[in-house]
């Protein structure tokens, strides 16, 4: 059951009641083996099975506020600038807000929803994202005080709010 999701994606999670079904599953397994051989990964899996166990059999770990906060690298203004001061405050608001989401204090928002908004993915890939997720900032204006995301580059742009309540409403 631990591998049910992976087997389902591969098309092999089904009841086998005849030889044709069994042969189809064997063919899929052989194709997977050939793919792993092509990448040179099969030897690594065979030599270090415990290192790959999580990738092939265990469900993904529960996403936490700390995981999500640490996933994004902030792009900060120069130290000592007024903008940097606001960015630091916004990073603090961001982390506090994530904790509130994790604790269930934000209606209809889960940490997975935040990750989907930022990346399009409901969980962090085992190998990570192709590019490091970035956190950027912009001055909130009357026309746009909401966060923006680019799922292709996994970039989250947060509005700069001096007040946590304003930041939380925008989020």
pLDDT digits (tens, 9 = 90+) for 3-16: 565 566 555 666 67
Query: What percentage of the chain carries pLDDT values higher than 90?
Result: 43
Q: How far apart are CA 43 and CA 40, in angstroms?
A: 6
Q: Which pLDDT score is estimated for 8? A: 61
- What does pLDDT average to over the chain? 84
Q: How far apart are CA 71 and CA 133, in angstroms?
A: 6
What is the number of alpha carbons within 13 Å of residue 96 lying toward its C-beta? 11
Structural domain spans, the chain: 4-56, 65-170
At 88-128, the pLDDT tens digits run 999 999 999 999 999 999 999 999 999 999 998 888 887 78
* pLDDT: which is higher, 110 or 57: 110
Q: How far apart are CA 70 and CA 24, in angstroms?
A: 43
Whether 152 is catalytic = yes
Q: Which CATH class is domain 65-170?
A: alpha beta
User: Choosing from 152, 162, 163, 169, which is the catalytic residue?
Assistant: 152
* pLDDT: which is higher, 21 or 108: 108
Q: Which pLDDT score is estimated for 135? A: 96
């Amino acid at each position: 059951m631990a591998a049910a999701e992976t087997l389902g994606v591969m098309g092999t999670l089904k009841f086998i009641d005849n030889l044709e079904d069994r042969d189809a599953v064997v063919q899929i397994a052989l194709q997977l083996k050939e793919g792993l051989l092509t990448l040179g990964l099969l030897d690594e899996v065979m030599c270090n099975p415990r290192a790959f166990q999580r990738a092939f059999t265990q469900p993904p770990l529960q996403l936490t506020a700390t995981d999500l906060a640490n996933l994004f690298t902030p792009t900060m203004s120069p130290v000592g600038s007024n903008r940097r001061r606001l960015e630091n405050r916004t990073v603090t608001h961001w982390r506090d807000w994530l904790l509130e989401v994790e604790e269930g204090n934000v209606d209809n928002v889960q940490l997975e929803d935040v990750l989907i908004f930022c990346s399009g993915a409901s969980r962090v890939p085992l190998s990570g994202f192709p590019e490091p997720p970035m956190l950027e900032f912009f001055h909130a204006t009357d026309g746009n005080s909401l966060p923006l995301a680019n799922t292709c580059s996994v970039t989250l742009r947060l509005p700069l709010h001096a007040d946590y309540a304003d930041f939380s409403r925008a989020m």
